[in-house]
Structure 1
Amino acid sequence: MGSAPEVYAGLNDRLKGSAAEILFPTDGDKYTQAIARWSEHNIKRAACVVKVRSADDVTSTLSFIRENKIPFVVRGGGHSTSGSASIEDGLVIDLSLMRGVTVDKEKQTVRAEGGALWVNVDEEAAKYELATVGGTVNHTGVGGLTLGGGYGFLTGKHGLTIDNLLSVEIVLASGEQVTASSTSNPDLFWAVRGAGQNFGVATAFTFQAYPQTNPVYAGPLIFLPDKIPEVIAFVNKFHTANDGNQALMWGFSCPPPMNAPVLLTQCFHNGTEEEGSAFFADLIALGPVANLISMIPYAKLNSLLNSSAGFDGRKMFGGGAFKLPLDVGFVQSLFEEFLGFVQGKNEAGKERGMGQSLLLFETIPYNEVVKVGNDSMAFSNRGDYYNLATMFKWFDPSFDDEVRGFARTLLKKASQSAGVDQDEKTRSIEGVGVYGNYANADVPANEIYGGNAKKLGELKHKYDPENLFDRGTRLVPRPMVVVN
């Protein structure tokens, strides 16, 4: 294989007649925008970006990749912080021009192309008074969230996004275009629901949708940290008080302009204002410093957290788990440890200035989630617990390693204290306690997939024997690729 210009010289011919866009570092702003990511931590200078417009474009590009042994990644929404959608010097298959969404009102299904964002799905489905289980931030990609699981405000009633996935159209490593569903390639369908990025390029998803005619009661209540005991008391009651139509996201941050620590809560009730205000009455009575709850269309719900997930800065997700009831002292200690890190100084004496970071307790009802067994599909994070997440945000690259180390330590401590730090024996039965979409790519497969890791490895050999798709959680050892 020759130099980069020589290697890619034949790509235009391979995509001749296609409307795909091929971008190189010499293409100025278009290239710069193409390698931009939600986290600056994951911006890498790819040698080439191919903005595909169809499954045929993907097949042609994969053929070129295989023949020339080019390292590559697939980019959907560009929201991952694991680095799996970015590459230095390799090729990016960019799905961002494939954002079409179609709705079948009669069948109550939604089909979204592989590069669609959740805002595209929410808004198109709303035109037909429908909704499906999506993420809680609407500028995330449909593909990444779905292939990794998918928790959302409707999970309490309808389970995970992958529980509502009817089929996936996917281009395999061979270039073959197939559909995976319960009746077509069912073993592949089992695998992609949780480990999809390891098996091909998903070019379209079809979801089950549900009637959503009414607006919802939703929005943030913001408290000072002195309200931690009272908020925890409400959270502990939430576990048994909810009927699946409610969700409560809550946690700690130091947002601008004051950069002072606050306790943030995001309330949700799928029903009337009277019902919602009654359910959250004890929280409201605590006297939040800001009450921004209102009745809004469902299509706007997943935009409420967008401001806390802006596109500037370096970011890293981390995931753990917690059980209810929570001990106030335990939460207070996590808060103080988190606060000490984001507002403190590193060993070199530099102020971290990480106040926009977030420690988040995702109290989303899981009764519907655990009705599906952990062996029913690759996803293996089903159990009697809730997700705990961190989203660290910083601007100085010299902090990268210490952020990663602190996040792991904090989340492990939280999960152990909550009794959900699973050992090897219980992971496949009780759930792994780690949401794969929050994990870094270097986490061992058994920690994400539990007892499903062995079967995934076998299916990997069947559908991708040369391990072409090697950028997610490693199901098999990564091959050594030599680029001349």
Structure 2
Amino acid sequence: MTVTLTRVDGSRERLSDEVLGEFDAALRGSLVPGGPAGEPEPRQEWNAMYGDRAALTARCTGTADVVEAVRFARSQGLLVGVRGGGHSVAGLSSIPDGLLIDLSAMRGVLVDPERRLARVQGGAVLGDVDRETQAFGLATPLGRVSETGVAGLTLGGGYGHLNTKYGLSCDNLVEAQVVCADGSVRTASETDDPDLFWAIRGGGGNFGVVTSFTFRLHPVGPVVGFAGALYPLEDLGAIERGWREYATGAPDEVTTLIVTMTFPAAPGMPEVIHDRPVAIVAAVHCGPDPDEGMRVLQPLRELGTPLFDLSQPMPYAAVQTSFDPFFPRGGLRAYWKSQYLDELTDDAIDALVGRALDRPAPLTLVNTFHLGGAVNAVDPEATAFAERTSPFMVSFDTMWTDPAQDEAAIAWGRSAWEEMTKYGNGRVFLNFTGRQDEPLQAGTDTAYGRNLRRLGRIKAALDPDNFFQLNNNIVPTPG
């Protein structure tokens, strides 16, 4: 199976059957060439704009396979990518011309309920973790779509339904096993390799392939208070003003957001919201008493006259899948951009309303997230994830299906983001970042702030040749 791949220096390298055969023999997993004759992908790329198969894929079964893949790529000078959950908005888990290190078979989760810890392999998705931890009435802060990869989410920070009470995903990481650019395997924690541990909590995939994460768990569920009120989109201005007042005074047990979209004609949902532009006010109360949680969430159900109200005590595992239908794997083309706000002013709300009423496609979302609580309680320099002060974040999740609409949809996303810079503080969330026509290091200076210098030094120590460069790239900067 002779294969031609791209090298780190941009040249092309034709690998012989003998070389590939030796690599294949060293793996417990399988080595799969790209092209139409290759095997189906075990995990499809989420963003349909990045559906091309890798020229060569190492389907790893464990840390030893990852070590072999890294060492092989280094020996051949190959450009590499890493796929965990394959849910990167910017397509950072797709590499058509290089070697893809695929962790999708590595999705085991082991829960220690006594110590309240969960060890999670690097290819796991959120649903894998929630299923195992909820068996013990425990959870760790993860995202809001069950098909999201744990690795990319955590390495980039990790927002979800438990943030205000328990912090980001990366704040709940207590240990990680990392295969570094030289093929060495390191254990990173507060006491072992603390610089690496600091860097991977927000620094993305710059420092190695994380083959396992150990998370701190918290008592959550199995039933939580859930608010899900769907209001007419034309009422968004008043709804968001009322939501702002509620969110800023809510207890830390409440994590809340507003999503605007055109609700699809989903089976089992009332016709009044079929293909209707709506503003969804969603929130989770993660306290021990769901009925008390519903009482605390009640004002979110009274911000106007809802078209439909899904609010109820709900299994936490069900909450974690409730947004899944809006984010089908491989079904949407996507370009996202985000902006943090020091204050959600009336003018900012008016701008959001204008954009929400003029979206380029039904499943394009204009979202407002409330942060605060445990997220803001962490010192900005305690982890690589530096944004610890903003109470709000806005994201424009431009999503569409027709490739002919690519240019117009991306232009809309950029324009909406540019308009929001009038009200934002200039900082961005890198996991909500599009890649088209933008360098991979775009936004790293504003996202990392003062932490970028330390990240550059750690990158230089662990990966001086920038072997891991298909990411929100941090340039190695010695000294």
TM-score by length of 2: 0.88
Amino acid at match of 1:16: A
SS at match of 1:16: helix
- Structure 1 partner of 2:452: 453
* Residues 477 and 88 of structure 1, relative CA distance in 2, 3 Å threshold: farther
- Structure 1 partner of 2:23: 14
- Structure 2 partner of 1:250: 258
- Structure 1 partner of 2:337: 318
Structure 1 position 377 matched with structure 2 position 379: no
Distance (whole Å) between structure 2 residues aligned to residue 214 and residue 25 of structure 1: 43
Distance (whole Å) between structure 2 residues aligned to residue 467 and residue 275 of structure 1: 51
Amino acid at match of 1:85: S
Structure 1 position 287 matched with structure 2 position 308: no
Q: After superposition, give the CA deviation of every residue in 1:250-289 in whole Å (9 maximum; x if it has no partner).
A: 1311232343321112222224443233223333233311
Distance (whole Å) between structure 2 residues aligned to residue 137 and residue 398 of structure 1: 27
- Per the TM alignment, residue 449 of structure 1 is displaced from its structure 2 partner at its CA by 0.9
Structure 1 position 297 matched with structure 2 position 315: yes
Structure 1 position 397 matched with structure 2 position 403: yes
SS at match of 2:78: coil
* Residues 207 and 9 of structure 1, relative CA distance in 2, 3 Å threshold: same
Task: Check the 8 A contact 2:172/2:215 in 1, yes or no.
Answer: yes
SS at match of 1:152: coil
- Per the TM alignment, residue 84 of structure 1 is displaced from its structure 2 partner at its CA by 1.3
- Structure 1 partner of 2:132: 124
- Structure 2 partner of 1:348: none
Structure 1 position 111 matched with structure 2 position 119: yes
Task: Compare 447-456 and 256-265 and name the one that shifted more.
Answer: 256-265
Task: Compare 61-70 and 209-218 and name the one that shifted more.
Answer: 209-218
Distance (whole Å) between structure 2 residues aligned to residue 214 and residue 115 of structure 1: 25
Distance (whole Å) between structure 1 residues aligned to residue 176 and residue 151 of structure 2: 10
- Per the TM alignment, residue 55 of structure 1 is displaced from its structure 2 partner at its CA by 0.9
- Per the TM alignment, residue 126 of structure 1 is displaced from its structure 2 partner at its CA by 1.1
- Per the TM alignment, residue 335 of structure 1 is displaced from its structure 2 partner at its CA by 2.5
- Per the TM alignment, residue 149 of structure 1 is displaced from its structure 2 partner at its CA by 0.3
* Residues 7 and 147 of structure 1, relative CA distance in 2, 3 Å threshold: farther
- Per the TM alignment, residue 307 of structure 1 is displaced from its structure 2 partner at its CA by 1.3
* Residues 92 and 9 of structure 1, relative CA distance in 2, 3 Å threshold: farther
* Residues 29 and 298 of structure 1, relative CA distance in 2, 3 Å threshold: farther
Match of 1:265 among 278, 281, 305: 281
Q: Report % sequence identity.
A: 29
* Residues 27 and 412 of structure 1, relative CA distance in 2, 3 Å threshold: closer
- Structure 1 partner of 2:174: 166
Q: After superposition, give the CA deviation of every residue in 1:87-111 in whole Å (9 maximum; x if it has no partner).
A: 1221110000000000111111010
More helix as a share of residues: 1
Amino acid at match of 1:421: N
Task: Check the 8 A contact 1:219/1:304 in 2, yes or no.
Answer: no
Amino acid at match of 1:14: F
Distance (whole Å) between structure 2 residues aligned to residue 263 and residue 98 of structure 1: 37
Structure 1 position 85 matched with structure 2 position 93: yes
SS at match of 2:369: strand
* Residues 336 and 135 of structure 1, relative CA distance in 2, 3 Å threshold: same
Distance (whole Å) between structure 2 residues aligned to residue 34 and residue 401 of structure 1: 30
- Structure 1 partner of 2:230: 222
Amino acid at match of 2:15: E
Amino acid at match of 2:401: F
- Per the TM alignment, residue 442 of structure 1 is displaced from its structure 2 partner at its CA by 4.5
- Per the TM alignment, residue 406 of structure 1 is displaced from its structure 2 partner at its CA by 2.8
Distance (whole Å) between structure 1 residues aligned to residue 185 and residue 154 of structure 2: 19
- Structure 2 partner of 1:473: 472
Task: Compare 192-201 and 249-258 and name the one that shifted more.
Answer: 249-258
Task: Compare 34-43 and 78-87 and name the one that shifted more.
Answer: 34-43
Task: Check the 8 A contact 1:42/1:86 in 2, yes or no.
Answer: yes
* Residues 229 and 88 of structure 1, relative CA distance in 2, 3 Å threshold: closer
* Residues 406 and 421 of structure 1, relative CA distance in 2, 3 Å threshold: farther
Q: After superposition, give the CA deviation of every residue in 1:286-339 in whole Å (9 maximum; x if it has no partner).
A: 331111122222222211111111221211221112344541x54233232343
- Structure 2 partner of 1:274: 291
- Per the TM alignment, residue 358 of structure 1 is displaced from its structure 2 partner at its CA by 0.5
Task: Check the 8 A contact 1:35/1:86 in 2, yes or no.
Answer: no
Amino acid at match of 2:334: K
Task: Compare 234-243 and 271-280 and name the one that shifted more.
Answer: 271-280
Distance (whole Å) between structure 2 residues aligned to residue 245 and residue 399 of structure 1: 41
* Residues 279 and 35 of structure 1, relative CA distance in 2, 3 Å threshold: closer
- Per the TM alignment, residue 396 of structure 1 is displaced from its structure 2 partner at its CA by 2.8
Q: After superposition, give the CA deviation of every residue in 1:235-255 in whole Å (9 maximum; x if it has no partner).
A: 122234311111222131123
Gaps of 5+ in 1: 343-353, 423-432, 479-484
> 1:386-425 counterparts in 2 under 5 A?
386-417=392-423, 420-422=424-426
Deviating above 4 A after TM superposition, structure 1's stretches of 4 or more consecutive aligned residues are 26-29
Distance (whole Å) between structure 2 residues aligned to residue 335 and residue 213 of structure 1: 34
- Per the TM alignment, residue 28 of structure 1 is displaced from its structure 2 partner at its CA by 4.3
Task: Check the 8 A contact 1:77/1:139 in 2, yes or no.
Answer: yes
Match of 2:106 among 98, 107, 126: 98
Task: Check the 8 A contact 1:362/1:386 in 2, yes or no.
Answer: yes
* Residues 447 and 105 of structure 1, relative CA distance in 2, 3 Å threshold: same
Task: Compare 403-412 and 108-117 and name the one that shifted more.
Answer: 403-412
Amino acid at match of 2:429: Y
- Structure 1 partner of 2:209: 201
Structure 1 position 25 matched with structure 2 position 20: no
Task: Compare 115-124 and 285-294 and name the one that shifted more.
Answer: 285-294
SS at match of 2:461: helix
Task: Check the 8 A contact 2:204/2:472 in 1, yes or no.
Answer: no
Task: Check the 8 A contact 2:337/2:433 in 1, yes or no.
Answer: yes
Q: How many residues align?
A: 451
SS at match of 1:265: strand
Distance (whole Å) between structure 1 residues aligned to residue 137 and residue 18 of structure 2: 48
- Structure 2 partner of 1:429: none
* Residues 221 and 64 of structure 1, relative CA distance in 2, 3 Å threshold: same
- Per the TM alignment, residue 227 of structure 1 is displaced from its structure 2 partner at its CA by 2.7
Gaps of 5+ in 2: 5-13, 266-273, 435-439
- Structure 2 partner of 1:135: 143
SS at match of 2:195: helix
Please provide the CA RMSD for this pair: 2.2
